[in-house]
Amino acid sequence: MCSTTRVFTPLSQPDDHHHDTEAIWIPVRSGNIFVEPGGGLITGTEPGAGDGAHHFLGDMAGTPVWAVDMHDSSEEGDLEPVHLRKLYGRIPEQEWIVAGRAEQIINYERTHRFCGRCGSPTTSSPSDRGRVCPECSHMAFPRLSPAMIVLVERGDQALLAWGRQFPGRFFSTLAGFVEPGESLEQAVEREVREEVGIEVTNIRYFGSQPWPFPHSLMCGFQCDYSSGEIVIQEEEIVEAGWFDAHDLPPTPVGGMSIAGWLIEDWLRRRGNS
């Protein structure tokens, strides 16, 4: 990951000084971020290409940041499209997170042009990120789906699973979306029970990560094995098992996702970092 870090301050509405000045532009189309050829995010007084709507995201070290909706017919100019996943490591991590924010805001603006209650065209709220219906006053905000992700420990071993979403043999931590009326800790207990059939205890918070694929907030936990034998949920899991730090299967360590951070922390605590 690039080392240069610029602090980003999220803001929902621009002030007068955010207009007509040098800015950071993040054109987005279908999961692709348009960047300088061979370089990073676009900086200038204009986005360089595209004629779609501009959506203010906030300040990056005092420089305004705008997301740009690149429609299929928008002119690309000399810009280079890079999928958000592949952009990781090419630009500083904070900028990559902001690029993910841009992709989610563009998708939200595209899919909430009409009221979900009465079907009338919506307008942007003047005070926050929401869109409001002028006919029935219904408000909609960007979709955010909380999900838990957890590393289960048993002595010096960790439970890792090969999910069906991975085309090759690749193991990671367990994860799942939080259901209505459920706490994060309850989601941990339920998902572990459903996916591998065991019970856990001593659930403790590790950290969180915004995950723009497509609109999740990953809430990381560590917990301890309590009881039961592994019985996989075959619709979700190909294989699962207990692994020692010195005998891991193909798995993320560090990298772009909180799954890798959980495993990296576990290895460090085992003295294998």
> Could you report the per-residue pLDDT of 167-208, keeping only the tens digit for each?
899 999 999 999 999 999 999 999 999 999 999 999 999 999
Taking the C-alpha atoms of residue 52 and residue 42, their distance in angstroms, rounded to an integer, is: 16
The H or E element that residue 224 is part of is strand 216-227
Domain-embedded: residue 134: no
pLDDT given for residue 1 in this prediction:
40
Which residue among 59, 93, 111 closes a domain? 111
CATH value at residue 43:
3.90.79.20
Residues 65 and 174 in one domain: no
- 92-113 tens-digit pLDDT: 999 999 999 999 999 999 999 9
Band of pLDDT at residue 47, cut at 50, 70 and 90: confident
> Which residues are 82's β-sheet partners?
33
Percentage of residues of the chain with pLDDT beyond 70? 97
Higher pLDDT, 16 or 33: 33
- Of 111, 126, 159, which residue constitutes the final position of a domain? 111
What pLDDT digit, counting tens, does each position of 53-70 carry? Answer: 899 999 999 899 999 999
CB of 92 closer than 8 Å to CB of 202: no
In a domain? residue 129 = no
Overall pTM surpassing 0.85 (yes/no):
yes
Question: How many structural domains does the chain have?
Answer: 2
Torsion of CA 126, 122, 49, 43, to 10 degrees: 30
Where among 61, 86, 111 does a domain terminate? 111
CA 151, distance to chain mean position in Å, is 19
174 or 11, greater pLDDT: 174
What pLDDT score does 13 carry?
Answer: 86
The answer, yes or no, to whether residue 50 has pLDDT greater than 80, is no
Give, in order, the Cα–Cα distances in Å from 109 to each of 56, 114, 168, 179. Answer: 12, 10, 35, 25
Domain of 239 in residue numbering reads as 145-269
Contacts of 224 (CB under 8 A, 6+ apart): 152, 153, 154, 200, 201, 202
